[in-house]
Amino acid sequence: MMSLDNRPVYAGGCQCGAVRFRVEGTLGDASICHCRMCQKASGNFYLPLVSVRGAKVDWTRGEPKRFRSSNAAWRGFCADCGTPLTFEAPDGTALAIAAFDDPAGIAPTIQWGIEAKLPYVDAIPQLPGEDTSADISSAPYLAELVSYQHPDHDTEQWPPKERS
Ligand SMILES: [Zn+2]
Ligand SMILES: [Zn+2]
């Protein structure tokens, strides 16, 4: 998507939809960080982030709650559902790549914090893989699953009327 003056526009938000953002302008470096702080902040093996230092970021619904993880940085997340959203440092802000509505187009180009990389991370691509419905007989609830996750586009109202 493009803005009126032909600048790229991106949108995204948390899983529950309470917090939504809009980025107008060119995205900066996309990275993953293996450092122990990024592991804890994401509850994950590493945290994928893209710099929005050179772009304009608006919070179009709600706003992240922030935890000051060091004297230099704040970590923003949705206070309702916990989705990690920002890394905010004196030299600029970065957003969590997977929180974007279309993360497939934001490929990381560098890894940081590799001294803390977990020992099995490099072996993950070699693990056996199955799609979500491969074992539906042992998880029959999947056949009637109703997602309460916010969709990957902006919405007029959230949650939908029938659920609010
Ligand atoms: Zn949320
Ligand atoms: Zn880190």
What's the CA-to-centroid distance between 6 and ligand 1, angstroms?
30
What's the CA-to-centroid distance between 129 and ligand 2, angstroms?
28
Facing residues of 96 across strands? Answer: 49
Q: Take residue 19 and report the two structure tokens written for it.
A: 């917090």
pLDDT digits (tens, 9 = 90+) for 52-88: 999 999 999 999 999 999 999 999 999 999 999 999 9
What's the CA-to-centroid distance between 21 and ligand 2, angstroms?
22
Residue keyed to tokens 């279309």: 102
Residue keyed to tokens 């309460």: 148
What's the CA-to-centroid distance between 118 and ligand 1, angstroms?
28
Q: Take residue 98 and report the two structure tokens written for it.
A: 């997977």
How far, in Å, CA of 53 to CA of 91, rounded?
8
* DSSP type of residue 159: S
Measured from the Cβ of residue 25, the count of other Cβ atoms closer than 10 Å reads 16
What's the CA-to-centroid distance between 130 and ligand 2, angstroms?
30
Q: Is 67 within the bounds of a domain?
A: yes
Number of domains within the chain: 1
Q: Is 158 within the bounds of a domain?
A: no
pLDDT given at position 161? 81
- Which ligand gives the minimal distance to the CA of 48? 2
* DSSP type of residue 41: H
How far, in Å, CA of 36 to CA of 19, rounded?
26
pTM of the full structure = 0.93
- Which ligand gives the minimal distance to the CA of 49? 2
How far, in Å, CA of 81 to CA of 60, rounded?
17
Residues 6+ away with beta carbon under 8 Å from 144 = none
pLDDT given at position 162? 77
How far, in Å, CA of 22 to CA of 73, rounded?
22
Identify the CATH number of the domain in which residue 40 sits.
2.170.150.70
Q: Is 86 within the bounds of a domain?
A: yes
Beta strand pairing status for 65-68 and 74-77?
Answer: antiparallel
Q: Take residue 15 and report the two structure tokens written for it.
A: 């899983």
pLDDT given at position 5? 82
Q: Helix, strand or coil for residue 124?
A: helix
Q: How much of the chain, in percent, has pLDDT values that exceed 70?
A: 99
Q: Is 127 within the bounds of a domain?
A: no
What's the CA-to-centroid distance between 43 and ligand 2, angstroms?
12
Q: Are 108 and 31 in contact (CB under 8 A)?
A: yes
Q: Is 66 within the bounds of a domain?
A: yes
Facing residues of 48 across strands? Answer: 32
pLDDT given at position 164? 60
Domain that holds residue 19: 9-118
Task: From first to last of the 164 residues of the chain, give the pLDDT tens digit.
Answer: 788 788 999 999 999 999 999 999 999 999 999 999 999 999 999 999 999 999 999 999 999 999 999 999 999 999 999 999 999 999 999 999 999 999 999 999 999 999 999 999 999 999 999 998 887 787 888 888 899 999 999 999 998 887 76
pLDDT given at position 57? 98
* DSSP type of residue 100: B
